[in-house]
Amino acid sequence: MYVYTEIIRFIRELYGEPEAFIPLHAPVFAGKEKEYLNECIDSTFVSSVGKFVDKFEDMLTEHTKSAKSVVCVNGTNALHLALLLVGVERNDEVLTQSLTFIATANAISYTGAHPVFIDVDKETMGLSPEKMKIWLKENTFVKGNECFNKRTGRRIKACVPMHTFGHPVKIEDIAEICNKYHIELVEDAAESIGSFYKGKHTGTFGKVGVLSFNGNKTITAGGGGMLLFQDEKLGAYAKHLTTQAKTPHRWEFVHDHIGYNYRMPNINAALGCAQMENLDKILSDKRETAMKYKAFFDVVEDIDFFDEPDNCRSNFWLNTIILKDKEARDEFLQRSNNNNVMTRPVWTLMNKLPMFADCQTDDLTSSKWFEERVVNLPSSVRK
């Protein structure tokens, strides 16, 4: 199609690459990354202890206005620990969305709990509070300040909404529903550093929030995740668990809980600190890119640019378009990738994967609609 040729041409002009491969989202190192890495290496503190670990946590606490932040080696184990911290146990159930990256469902499975997949909103591409209300009303009962599934008899302990591609969900509504049903709220904010709902950073509405610093995220530490807490005491306990639950002593090895080796190395934190120093510039550049995409697609028929929802300021981690149907989506994916412009579809719905095929769901109407139509466009920083 002619319009696909024009889209590819526009993307190449946007990134100033007439022929070379254009990735989906490459990291940018335009600050003190090499300086901090060299300092870390020279100090010999390259593992889980060092000044950059503390500094990185402090920077995220300040940026998100959390009470405490705790770094982990990646976002998936941060989410796993978050679920354990709010009391999720084996054979519990956890509400989440089927339209998500697999880490969300995997982390739930690590606890021995069962995901329940609820539909997403058309406005946010994230967990729908209205669909959540309907499902809870029809399928659950509350007894002794706990919520139970009528069909399975299992306790529904937590809810994990995910801020898809950096666009905040209707998190206040979800929090209100969770409070009503005595369900703990854990935010999968892995993709949404720099995103705000009604002026408040994502990941700070529930008991625990989780960020990710994978190599393809808005900023990267080469890997890594961050736990965000509104309760400083719970955050301190999380820090203890991530370091094998070792009690402080100059030489003795005494551990008081089953702990986890979820510590971020200092060398990764050094990279993260340098990235954080440029976060505002990165977010500004990504917003400018998103607005250029938006203006371009405003005059393209049958393709819609997915803009930030109401009451939100999105980080536009991955710019997203919605095509008219699966056939159009597949054709564009083939044309763009054949022309060295990397694009990708949204994830396969979790309930379609063999390990989650038996999980309970609602109708997933919007999730299925998005699955057939979503395409992510190149979204790297351009300057």
Q: What is the CATH number of the domain that holds 327?
A: 3.90.1150.10
Task: Report how many domains make up the chain.
Answer: 2
Domain edge (last residue) among 246, 277, 308: 277
Do 229 and 331 lie in one domain? The reply is no
Q: How far is CA 20 from CA 9, 17, 123, 342, in A?
A: 12, 6, 35, 11
Single residue among 277, 292, 313 that ends a domain in this structure: 277
Query: Other CB atoms closer than 10 Å to residue 217's CB: what's the count?
Result: 25
For residue 109, the model assigns a pLDDT of: 98
**Is residue 258 located within the same domain as residue 328?**
no
Is residue 92 in a domain?
yes
Q: Full-prediction pTM beyond 0.75?
A: yes
- In this structure, is residue 65 part of a structural domain? yes
Q: Looking at the structure, do residues 198 and 319 belong to the same domain, yes or no?
A: no
Residues 327, 265, single domain; the answer is no
Rounded distance, CA 238 to CA 234, Å?
6
Answer whether residue 382 is part of any domain. Answer: no
Residue 330's contacts (CB-CB under 8 Å, 6 or more residues apart) are none
Residue span of the structural domain in which 296 resides: 2-27+279-351+360-376
Q: What is the pLDDT of residue 48?
A: 83
Same domain? 342 vs 332:
yes
Q: Are 188 and 100 in contact (CB under 8 A)?
A: yes
Going from the C-alpha of 315 to that of each of 33, 114, 206, 229, 272, the distances in angstroms are: 22, 31, 20, 21, 17
Q: What CATH number did the domain enclosing 101 receive?
A: 3.40.640.10
Residues 292 and 234 in one domain: no
Determine the pLDDT at residue 383.
83
Residues 342 and 316 in one domain: yes
**Same domain for 325 and 256:** no
Pick the last residue of a domain from 252, 277, 302.
277
- Whether 13 is covered by a domain: the verdict is yes
Report yes or no: 267 and 221 within 8 Å, Cβ to Cβ. no
Are 99 and 182 found together in one domain?
A: yes
Handedness of CA 132, 357, 98, 93 (dihedral sign): positive
Within this chain, do residues 254 and 156 fall inside the same structural domain, yes or no? Answer: yes
Judge whether 381 lies within some domain.
Answer: no
Question: 194 with 330, same domain?
Answer: no
Residue 129 in any domain: the answer is yes
Residues 139 and 252 in one domain: yes
Give 10-residue mean pLDDT values along the chain (383 residues).
92 96 97 97 92 97 98 97 98 98 98 98 98 98 97 98 98 98 98 98 98 97 97 96 91 93 96 98 98 97 97 98 98 98 98 98 98 98 92
The answer as to whether 294 is a domain residue is yes
Bridge-based pairing of strands 374-376 and 344-345 is antiparallel
